[in-house]
Amino acid sequence: MRILILGGTAFLSAEIARQALDAGHHVTCLARGTVAQPPPGVRWVRADRSAGTEAYGGLDGGWDAVVDVSRDPAHARAALAVLSARTGHWTFVSSCSVYRRHDQPGADEAAALLPPLAPGKEAAPETYGESKSAIEKLVLETAGEKAHIVRAGLIAGPGDGSDRYGYWPARFASGGGPVLVPDILGDPVQVIDVRDLAAWILSAAEGGLAGAFNAVGEVVSFGEYLEVCRELAGAVPGSVLAEAGWLEAQGVQPWSGEDSLPLWLPPEHEGFMARSHAAAVAQGLRLRSWQETLRDTLADELARGFHRTRRAGLRAEREKELLASLRPA
């Protein structure tokens, strides 16, 4: 197949490019390459998608498949305008953040979506869900029956730059005394391995799959996940549970960001990591065990170094301060 990836330099898009090359496909990546370069072996067209339709001037001919991971409706609109008519299959990697509600465990693709970001309004982190919803609408209107919309959940595995899933196994492996843990042991954790997601996106393109699907993994409790983190890390540090209300009062953030505790979700997000993947599994999504993903994530964390600047988790000194406040001498 002749495959065009709009991206190809970061995490998921780079993994798709690698797997497509390994499968013998002819792969082109259109990307700026300001932070990283596409995998060796692809044809790299350097372009900045903020240039609109002019960004695609270096692309010629038709494509069996296009994969777009954009979060900016303006970028997606320009790509569709230039490429959709000469593309056999169009994959858009969306997100489960497009859903209007996140408090219903087991919800499937029929759940209501957020309203699309209004035309002309600039995409921003705080409108991520609305931006993805707007792109879904554009893709369906333009690519129609050849459109595959992949509503990904939290993507994990080697190379994850978000630092969320890897924080906990790496924290146990780092030692350094008790580990501060939010008291959410019964809450769900659901991720999809980047390698499994990339493989399904490619097989779906090869088979011409169309429609919108939740691309999420198996659900496991946060408590069970932590136990396996400890086992894999060979950890001896104990853990100290802290109530969510106390953590919030101390300024600790849920989910991600500086001074956060990853995988802890705010209220009314009980279903955010507990969505149904039945439709995708019925269409060929194959999932490795979450324990394997966790093992490989820890190996990647150790190789990159836990004490690097992180995008999620507590700094060591901040964790010690919190533990001292929670358990005064």
Do the Cβ atoms of 251 and 322 come closer than 8 Å? Answer: no
Domain ranges of the chain: 2-152, 158-189+219-269+288-326
Provide the greatest CA pair distance for the chain: 71
pLDDT of 34: 85
Q: What Cα–Cα distance (Å) separates residue 106 from each residue in 219, 224, 272, 279, 289?
A: 10, 19, 9, 12, 19
b/e for 193-204, b at 16 or more Cβ within 10 A? bbbbbbbbbbbb
Into which CATH architecture does domain 2-152 fall?
A: 3-Layer(aba) Sandwich (3.40)
Which single residue is written with the structure tokens 């008291």?
Answer: 183
Would you state the structure tokens that stand for residue 204, as one six-digit string? 């779906």
Q: How far apart are CA 312 and CA 245, in angstroms?
A: 19
**pLDDT value, residue 283:** 98
- CA dist 281 and 121 (Å) reads 36
Give the per-residue pLDDT at 329: 47
Nearest in space to 326 (alpha carbons), one of 185, 188, 106, 179:
179
Q: Are 149 and 213 in contact (CB under 8 A)?
A: yes
d(CA 42, CA 39): 6
Q: 158-189+219-269+288-326 in CATH: which number?
A: 3.90.25
Structure token pair of residue 10: 């970061």
The pLDDT of residue 328 is 64
Residue 50 has which token pair?
A: 């903020």
Structure tokens at 295: 């093992």
Over the chain (329 residues), what is each successive 10-residue block's mean pLDDT? 96 97 98 91 96 96 97 97 98 98 98 96 95 98 97 97 96 92 97 98 98 98 97 88 96 95 96 98 98 98 90 95 83
The answer to whether residues 297 and 163 touch, using CB atoms and an 8 Å cutoff, is: no
Four-point Cα dihedral 261, 131, 297, 214, nearest 10: 110
